[in-house]
Amino acid sequence: MIELDNKLISEDIFSKQFVCNLGACKGACCVEGDAGAPLESEEKELIEKNLTKIIPFMRQEGIEKIANEGVSYADFDGEQVTTLVNNKECAFVFFDETNTAKCAIEKSYREGEIKFNKPISCHLYPIRVKKLKYYDALDYNRWDICSPACTLGEELKVPVYKFLKEPLIRKYGEDFYEKLELVGKELLK
């Protein structure tokens, strides 16, 4: 682990390579797993506040589930996560013409309807952030459904932290990302 600005960062974030390959995985991370996407408290509030602008991009199953159960629930750790449909896919998932899972929250953002992107936990994936007493621990999460992303990352020679530049800046700011890049360059020497 590397300590940087009160963050503990797994060396895998620098050494592993990753580029999402939606054509291969079809957005499996949005439909598989044991819980919904982790939400920060302000994200839950933003989703609730902007729900009428997100709903037009959702499937009927997701709309009904949220109407009955809300936008999130407490998972087995007591943390808020997005509501699931059929205990499987995120309620905010829709499928495009190639049957690829996509996010209605992100679609609403990209269409200029809302001012925030999908949950940061989704945007940062495959980095998972765990809040410790004095630090955020950033770890690289390995999941077999992402093997096409690992293969593509290796082909293109893109380390995890470079692939996730936009969400890392969104979460921690440009100053932190610039320091992260310096650490990455040092580790490559």
Residue 160 structure tokens:
């995890």
Residue 94 structure tokens:
């829709």
pTM value is: 0.89
Residue 43, phi then psi, degrees to nearest 5? -70, -45
Question: Using CA atoms, how far apart are residues 67 and 82, in angstroms rounded to an integer?
Answer: 13
| Average pLDDT over every residue of 75-99 | 93
Contact predicate 70/83, CB 8 Å:
yes
Q: Which of the four pLDDT bands, split at 50, 70 and 90, describes residue 51?
A: very high
| Average pLDDT over every residue of 63-72 | 96
Q: Which of the four pLDDT bands, split at 50, 70 and 90, describes residue 34?
A: confident
| Average pLDDT over every residue of 174-186 | 94
pLDDT (0 to 100) of residue 47: 96
User: What would the pLDDT profile of 124-140 be if each residue is shown by its tens digit?
Assistant: 999 999 988 899 999 99
Average predicted confidence (pLDDT) for the chain: 93
Cβ neighbours around 72 below 10 Å, total: 22
Parallel, antiparallel, or unpaired: how do β-strands 136-140 and 93-95 relate? Answer: unpaired
Contact predicate 181/12, CB 8 Å:
no
**Does residue 188 have a pLDDT over 90?**
no
Contact predicate 126/146, CB 8 Å:
yes
Give every strand in the sheet of 2-4, ordered side by side.
2-4, 7-9, 136-140, 127-131
